[in-house]
Structure 1
């Protein structure tokens, strides 16, 4: 099969959401990563939005599974099930045969973990699988021209991990990844409400609090919010009323891990790029970019201009779309082996 005839598939397998892009068709799937299984016969009951609606409302015969956690495959069989059912539902399983697949992963993923990601796609029939750091794809999807010989800084706050990177001349100069992101923010909110109000709340309730009143700085029309859960002592239903200020303090404490990571990154930055960072600033991507005043938070701490990417939830998959022509250009020039590993070093991609 000629290179130009191969089908291109890009996957952003996140802890919170799965996005799939197919060349010449666009984004064909964008739903939560969660899946529901029947424990009695180990059959898949639901996935995506349908499974998400079941969270916290299932019986003992149902188990909820998130196959990808922190960019790493936590359940290989479930990950294969996920992709088979997504593309089967779309009646697109045939596109996997001899396809070229691009997978996004966090910066801290090991070679062994990359190989596990590749195996899932290869088992479905892919001819070649390329794994790229999602922060690089996010920077491209955010509109940064990473090919220029100047430093571009991106922070991608996802569901399972936060990645920070400095990119110049088409490659990542230095990057870091931490498991402090959307789901851990929710966990911190749950812990605070349990500690302060003796109320256990669910994951969806914590996420809703974060979305509704979460912030990293004061904003107009701040309000309190009622949340319902189970009393830790009596086990009975109980209401807690939390303020925007309380949740802000929780989130600021959570985000301190990200600021520490960014300081560590800056300390490893070549001096020549420091001026670029001050001049061109930071671009924030991912779901965490939607938290109120996140750009002001980083700007105030580091005295560096900061902006939120347009459509931050889609930056990784949008970057993957743009990366399609880069991959096929590399293929034509013999830069990849069959399994997607680089055969040559190149410095210019676009």
Structure 2
């Protein structure tokens, strides 16, 4: 089947925090932060990915840091094109784009216009068929859920820019919602708290380090504190303060309450038969936010549903697109997608 069409398969997880790329036969060929640094004077790209991330909060006026994808949506089309070209140029794989079949994973709330912008980038790179799928559906596949069965599954994908929640059954999404409360929003709330409580200004990287080091949603044994450094907003001098686990937990609980409210909304609109399935199958947690300590216990205590964290929550989306390759090629063979023309055809779910 694959040889019949002789088209490379490429998938991209276009995340707010990280970009991952998979090429059939090559595996995951790129996994870097979604950041780019440009020289303001020449508009030349000077750093990308991890190199650009290391520059956060440490640049001068001649350097401009750009996140081309915000909340899974292209905010800067030129930068997004530069990003994709760099990924495959660096890996000497530009020829893989020609006549390729490309799957782009995006959040549930992306509009048709935003989908068109995503598709245009891949088309300009030479892709023949571009399919845009929701990240939460790919996450379910990547977490090992058999989505093809007529059985309801509740998926919560907490990424960097958005949290996507969906009920999936019989191979597709029954109902889904997306909220812009996720990893970056958690960092921002920590940053605001430290400024208000201790009168010091910290950067987003420090806030993220606090979240990863001592963040939790349920009290745990041997909780500890962390020393952080920032700038005193009154004197302007460097200052050190200590933040403890309970403080960070209270910050995170405020943000997670919005996610739980969305889960409740989803459940209230779920068909009764699928609700019964979810009572048995429970909830699957994916995305970087699933790494917050005791998140499974937090959701279980609220909903009394079996709660499972995916084995590799950070890579669920890209792993799901790898599993989706067989489904796409089968659809091409059946005529659902026309891979012989450089056009994008909507999936039959529409």
Q: TM-score range by the shorter chain?
A: over 0.9
1:120 partnered with 2:121: yes
2:111 alignment partner in structure 1:
110
CA shift for structure 1 position 292 = 0.2
Give TM-score scaled by structure 2 length. Answer: 0.97
| Runs (5+) with no aligned partner, structure 1 | none
Equivalent runs, 1:4-43 vs 2, <5 Å = 4-43=5-44
CA distance in 1, matches of 2:247, 2:5: 55
CA distance in 1, matches of 2:347, 2:318: 25
SS in 2 for 1:98: coil
1:189 alignment partner in structure 2:
190
CA distance in 2, matches of 1:87, 1:49: 16
CA distance in 1, matches of 2:343, 2:71: 23
CA distance in 2, matches of 1:91, 1:34: 21
2:346 alignment partner in structure 1:
342
1:177 alignment partner in structure 2:
178
SS in 2 for 1:177: strand
Q: Is the 8 A contact 1:224 1:241 kept in 2?
A: yes
| Runs (5+) with no aligned partner, structure 2 | none
CA distance in 1, matches of 2:91, 2:241: 43
Q: Is the 8 A contact 1:20 1:27 kept in 2?
A: yes
CA distance in 1, matches of 2:284, 2:232: 41
1:62 alignment partner in structure 2:
63
| Superposed CA offset, 1:256-299 (max 9, x none) | 11001111101110011111111110000000010000000011
1:251 partnered with 2:252: yes
Equivalent runs, 1:52-201 vs 2, <5 Å = 52-201=53-202
Q: Is the 8 A contact 1:106 1:135 kept in 2?
A: yes
Q: Against the structure 1 CA distance between its residues 170 and 220, is the aligned structure 2 distance closer, same or farther, given a 3 Å change threshold?
A: same
1:209 alignment partner in structure 2:
210
CA distance in 2, matches of 1:345, 1:70: 24
Q: Is the 8 A contact 1:130 1:339 kept in 2?
A: no
Q: Structure 1 stretch 99-108 or stretch 328-337: which is displaced more? A: 328-337
CA shift for structure 1 position 239 = 1.2
CA shift for structure 1 position 55 = 0.8
CA distance in 2, matches of 1:68, 1:75: 7
CA distance in 1, matches of 2:63, 2:74: 21
1:271 alignment partner in structure 2:
272
SS in 2 for 1:63: strand
CA distance in 1, matches of 2:249, 2:66: 30
Q: Is the 8 A contact 1:334 1:343 kept in 2?
A: no
SS in 2 for 1:30: strand
CA shift for structure 1 position 4 = 3.0
Equivalent runs, 1:255-334 vs 2, <5 Å = 255-334=256-335
CA shift for structure 1 position 76 = 0.3
Q: Is the 8 A contact 1:201 1:228 kept in 2?
A: yes
CA shift for structure 1 position 332 = 1.1
CA distance in 2, matches of 1:237, 1:345: 56
Q: Is the 8 A contact 1:38 1:62 kept in 2?
A: yes
SS in 1 for 2:45: strand
| Superposed CA offset, 1:18-40 (max 9, x none) | 00000111100111011111001
